[in-house]
């Protein structure tokens, strides 16, 4: 059995944000679930490079678009690696294999008489890379990009006869009720089909960035017609017939709700025209918002997944996104909610269970547990949960699959409370019962960890190691390893807490608490192999400790770091997408803002920190004292350029140790996407100690 799944390919005009990362994480969960189920799986991701926005961004940066795309590929791959995304192939639309496929498919549609020349006149939204009808605009603006004015385009274009395929598409939807999931998206597309289709433009005239149409090379292929073909190109269409035969058609395209129309109407029609088989299924997931606002780079309301993964590691983030958002619907991320779920689901619940088991196994049985009995109440819970897990995961109800695994975790915690092993241990006559209880808990933890493998791969592997599972994580199979085992002695290993609870207030544990538990590699400082440093964390631009007690303001890293240059208020007033509620609760009061003591300071001394590419140690005069601050600006400034310079600092930040140096405050800098930090400065000379507000 084979399974070929894909995600949307991302525009590379900016780094991934938490929304685009959500898609990749959920697709990764499906890919890992398929592999766990013993299915030969091919998981494709990639980058969509022929967008006008990508071209413009490269020119703004003064680099060749190809060089820019190479750099962005690195950035994307680094983030995907950090999030433990296990793709098998990564395609870029500037690759020769893609160009060959686009030209072949376009030629076939042309030969079939489905592409014809015409005149296009109308609106175009560059951010959507889509032609817009008058009725789609709100006050003359694209509702998704209200800050931009759509362009009026009048050009000779080639059109694809989409209208011709309307009946065949309707028929396909009717004959394959599962073609588009979830149901609400299917209904939406059916309504669209029923209302009729118009032909679409598939070329852009006079542009250099793109793939030339084979039959009219002075035109480039329209970016969407180009991008959709990646799914076929990656598995050998036009370049490797045997491979194409093996993997096509795709089993599942995972895409966001905004682009289901392209995937379930335009793409199938293109395939029909070219005489190729249609993908079996498309899943249109919902949006992840940030504090109630639509996440968007252009709106300045996006959240960098690396910043989130930095806090507790990738697995807590993966768990949050999968467990908290019903797959197919919309969801929301806030730092407060994230920390709350971390404490509840990981620190208190699963982490505590693993620790208690190890402690009791060691104390009462020298860490070796022998099988006793055929399994009691927990065994039943385990088997019921496995059935529920399978049904949920097969139906892409990923949140419910995780809930099934947590059913076992909850039951095991309750079982410990009820059976009170510490009491059994006091009575020699209860020794047999104690054996049963401990073995059963160990087995429950093992089964839960197998079920959690797709969602939290590294954590699952660590838990399995601690409960004595000897099968390598990649070799685990749900059929064999997800079932309750009443046999086999277990050697239980103790270890550092997997997810120490984070408390509000200054005593809270530092960031990345699970390094010690073996779930995260120790931070690599600027080494060529490691993930890139997140300068705003290193520089103390993000709070180095997890705060978030009921009194403290929620950590809003981008705002506090000055990385979000556009005022939040403006976003809410001007750029609210229709139908959404402004995120009142994500705004801070003036009192909250005034808690931040921003001051002018003068740099007295600056020196590089050995073994760190990003960090520099500064001695600054704050007007009232001289202190050391470690800043993540070494890539942009030489130490000697900094001495004598006026900077803005947060003066009342708790001290934090960075690379062994205690930093007392942070220096404000703007961090453009993918670029180097630029220090905040003034037009006029100002005395150290002057308040900034």
User: What residues make contact with ligand MSP under the rule CB under 6 A?
Assistant: 8-11, 19-20, 22-23, 48, 227-228, 230, 255-256, 258-259, 287-288, 295
Q: How far is 263 from 254, CA to CA, in rounded Å?
A: 9
Nearer to ligand MSP, 309 or 467 (CB): 309
Query: Is 444 in a helix, a strand, or coil?
Result: helix
Q: Which segments of 325-376 does DSSP mark as H helices, in order? A: 335-341, 352-365
- Smallest separation (angstroms) from ligand MSP to the CB of 263: 7
Nearer to ligand MSP, 287 or 499 (CB): 287
- Smallest separation (angstroms) from ligand MSP to the CB of 560: 22
- Contact between 229 and 274 under an 8 Å Cβ cutoff? The reply is no
Q: How far is 244 from 232, CA to CA, in rounded Å?
A: 8
- Smallest separation (angstroms) from ligand MSP to the CB of 257: 7
Nearer to ligand MSP, 282 or 667 (CB): 282
Query: Residue 214 to residues 91, 105, 111, 618: CA-CA distances in angstroms?
Result: 21, 10, 11, 58
Q: How far is 232 from 61, CA to CA, in rounded Å?
A: 32
- Smallest separation (angstroms) from ligand MSP to the CB of 580: 12
Q: What is the DSSP letter of 508?
A: S
- Smallest separation (angstroms) from ligand MSP to the CB of 293: 10
- Smallest separation (angstroms) from ligand MSP to the CB of 262: 7
The number of beta carbons lying within 10 Å of the beta carbon of residue 670 is 15
> Phi and psi for 322 in degrees, rounded to 5?
-80, -40
Nearer to ligand MSP, 256 or 688 (CB): 256
The CB-nearest residue to ligand MSP is 256
Scanning the structure block, which residue is given the tokens 């277990």?
490
- Smallest separation (angstroms) from ligand MSP to the CB of 330: 8
Q: How far is 600 from 646, CA to CA, in rounded Å?
A: 7
Nearer to ligand MSP, 300 or 677 (CB): 300
Q: Are strands 661-663 and 626-631 parallel, antiparallel or unpaired?
A: unpaired
- Smallest separation (angstroms) from ligand MSP to the CB of 11: 4
Nearer to ligand MSP, 322 or 378 (CB): 322
Rg (CA), the chain: 28
- Smallest separation (angstroms) from ligand MSP to the CB of 171: 24
- Smallest separation (angstroms) from ligand MSP to the CB of 228: 5
- Smallest separation (angstroms) from ligand MSP to the CB of 155: 22
Nearer to ligand MSP, 288 or 656 (CB): 288
> Phi and psi for 655 in degrees, rounded to 5?
-65, 150
Q: What is the number of alpha carbons within 13 Å of residue 46 lying toward its C-beta?
A: 27
Nearer to ligand MSP, 268 or 382 (CB): 268
- Smallest separation (angstroms) from ligand MSP to the CB of 48: 4
656 upstream amide cis, omega within 30 of 0: no
Nearer to ligand MSP, 326 or 384 (CB): 326
Q: How far is 217 from 205, CA to CA, in rounded Å?
A: 10
- Contact between 317 and 346 under an 8 Å Cβ cutoff? The reply is no
Nearer to ligand MSP, 9 or 69 (CB): 9
Nearer to ligand MSP, 337 or 433 (CB): 337
Q: How far is 141 from 123, CA to CA, in rounded Å?
A: 10
Q: What is the DSSP letter of 148?
A: S
Q: How far is 572 from 582, CA to CA, in rounded Å?
A: 6
Scanning the structure block, which residue is given the tokens 């504090």?
291
Nearer to ligand MSP, 10 or 538 (CB): 10
Q: How far is 507 from 501, CA to CA, in rounded Å?
A: 12
In sequence order, the β-bridge partners of residue 598 are 650, 692
């Amino acid at each position: 059995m084979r399974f070929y799944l894909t995600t949307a390919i991302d525009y590379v005009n900016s780094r991934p944000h938490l929304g685009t990362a959500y898609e990749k994480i959920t697709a990764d969960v499906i890919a890992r679930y398929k592999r766990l189920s013993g299915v030969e799986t091919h998981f494709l991701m990639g980058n969509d490079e022929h967008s006008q926005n990508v071209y413009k961004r490269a020119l703004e940066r003064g680099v060749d678009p190809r060089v820019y795309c190479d750099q962005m590929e690195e950035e994307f791959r680094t983030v995907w690696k950090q999030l433990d995304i296990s793709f098998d192939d990564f395609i870029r639309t500037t690759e020769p294999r893609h160009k060959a496929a686009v030209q072949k498919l376009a030629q076939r549609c042309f030969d079939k008489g489905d592409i014809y020349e015409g005149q296009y006149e109308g609106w175009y939204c560059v951010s959507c890379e889509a032609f817009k009808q008058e009725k789609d605009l709100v006050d003359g603006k694209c509702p998704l990009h209200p800050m931009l004015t759509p362009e009026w385009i009048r050009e000779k274009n080639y059109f694809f006869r989409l209208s011709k395929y309307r009946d065949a598409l309707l028929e396909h939807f009717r004959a394959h009720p599962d073609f588009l999931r979830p149901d609400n998206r299917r209904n939406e597309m059916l309504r669209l089909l029923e209302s009729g289709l118009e032909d679409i433009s598939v070329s852009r005239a006079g542009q250099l960035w793109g793939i030339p149409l084979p039959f009219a090379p002075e035109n480039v292929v329209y970016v969407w017609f180009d991008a959709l073909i990646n799914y076929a190109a990656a598995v050998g269409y036009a370049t490797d017939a045997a491979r194409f035969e093996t993997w096509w058609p795709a089993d599942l395209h995972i895409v966001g709700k905004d682009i289901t129309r392209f995937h379930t109407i335009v793409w199938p029609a293109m395939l029909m025209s070219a005489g190729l088989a249609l993908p079996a299924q498309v899943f249109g997931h919902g949006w992840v918002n940030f504090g109630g606002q639509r996440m968007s780079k252009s709106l300045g309301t996006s959240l960098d997944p690396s910043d989130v993964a930095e806090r507790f590691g990738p697995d807590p983030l993966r768990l949050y996104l999968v467990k908290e958002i019903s797959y197919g619907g919309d969801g929301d991320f806030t730092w407060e909610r994230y920390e709350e779920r971390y404490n509840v689901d990981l620190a208190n619940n699963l982490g505590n269970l693993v620790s208690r088991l190890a402690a009791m196994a060691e104390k009462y049985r020298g860490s070796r547990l022998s099988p006793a009995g055929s399994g009691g109440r927990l065994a039943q819970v385990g088997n019921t949960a496995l059935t529920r897990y399978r049904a949920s995961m097969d139906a892409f109800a990923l949140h419910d699959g995780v809930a099934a695994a947590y059913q076992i975790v909850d039951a095991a915690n309750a079982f410990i409370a009820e059976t009170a092993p510490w009491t059994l241990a006091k009575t020699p006559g209860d020794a047999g019962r104690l054996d049963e209880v401990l073995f059963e808990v160990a087995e429950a933890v093992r089964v839960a960890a197998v079920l959690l493998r797709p969602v939290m791969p590294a954590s699952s592997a660590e838990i399995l190691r601690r409960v004595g599972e000897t099968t390598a994580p990649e070799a685990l199979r749900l059929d064999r390893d997800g079932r309750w085992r009443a046999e086999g002695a277990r050697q239980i290993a103790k270890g550092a807490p997997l997810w120490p609870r984070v408390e509000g207030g200054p005593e809270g544990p530092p960031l990345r608490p699970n390094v010690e538990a073996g779930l995260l590699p120790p931070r690599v400082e600027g080494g060529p192999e490691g993930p890139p440093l997140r300068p705003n964390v290193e520089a103390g631009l993000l709070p180095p400790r997890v705060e978030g007690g009921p009194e403290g303001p929620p950590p809003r890293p981008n705002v506090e770091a000055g990385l979000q240059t556009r005022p939040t208020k403006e976003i809410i007033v001007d750029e609210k997408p229709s139908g959404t509620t402004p995120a009142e609760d994500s705004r801070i009061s003036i009192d909250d803002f005034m808690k931040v003591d921003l001051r002018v300071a003068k740099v007295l001394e600056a020196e590089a920190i050995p073994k760190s590419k990003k960090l520099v140690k500064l001695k600054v005069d704050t007007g009232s004292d001289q202190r050391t601050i470690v800043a993540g600006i070494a890539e942009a400034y030489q130490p000697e350029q900094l001495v004598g310079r006026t900077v803005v600092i947060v003066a009342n930040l708790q001290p934090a140790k960075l690379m062994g140096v205690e930093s007392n405050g942070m220096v404000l800098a703007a961090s453009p996407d993918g670029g180097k930090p630029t220090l905040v400065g003034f037009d006029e000379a100002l005395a150290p100690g002057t308040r900034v507000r």
